Amino acid sequence: MYKAKIHVTLRKSILDPKGKATHQALQNLGLNQINNVRIGKLIELDIHADSEDNARELAETACNQLLANEVMEDYQIEISDNSS
């Protein structure tokens, strides 16, 4: 059993209004060393696969076809072995 952690974020070139508003609030808190905030989502998948490569391939397919919209989003996949 593998676990895929998928981070979906808005593409760098796209303004992230939620991140911007949150950044403003952090500045209001006095946390002025924070220069930028980007907000995305974390999706976790439990995958039955016989190898890490297969698990990654499956997660890729899930991202391409549904989990991320590549018009506006990027994604990163982290795979870990959960069988223990």
Partner 1 sequence: MSKTIGVIVFPGSNCDHDAYHALKHVMGAETRFLWHKDNDLSGIDLLVIPGGFSYGDYLRSGAIARFSPIMQEVIQYSKQGKPVLGICNGFQILLEAGLLPGAMLYNEKLRFVCKNVYIRLENEDTLFTRGLEKGELLDIPVSHGEGNYFIDRDGLRELQDQNRIVFRYCNSEGFISAESNVNGSVDSIAGICNPTGNILGMMPHPERAVEPLLGSTDGKKIFEAVLDNLAVA
Of 18, 31, 57, 81, the one binding partner 1 by CB under 8 A: 18
Q: Which is nearer to partner 1, 46 or 53 (CB)?
A: 46
Q: Is 10 in the site for partner 1 (CB under 8 A)?
A: yes
* Helix, strand, coil percentages in the chain from 3-state DSSP, rounded to 5: 35, 30, 35
Amino acid at 31: L
Q: Is 62 in the site for partner 1 (CB under 8 A)?
A: no
Cα→Cα distances 45→1, 13, 17, 26, 37, Å:
10, 28, 27, 31, 25
Q: Is 14 in the site for partner 1 (CB under 8 A)?
A: yes
Residues at the interface with partner 1 (CB under 8 A): 10, 14-15, 17-18, 21, 66-67, 69, 71-72
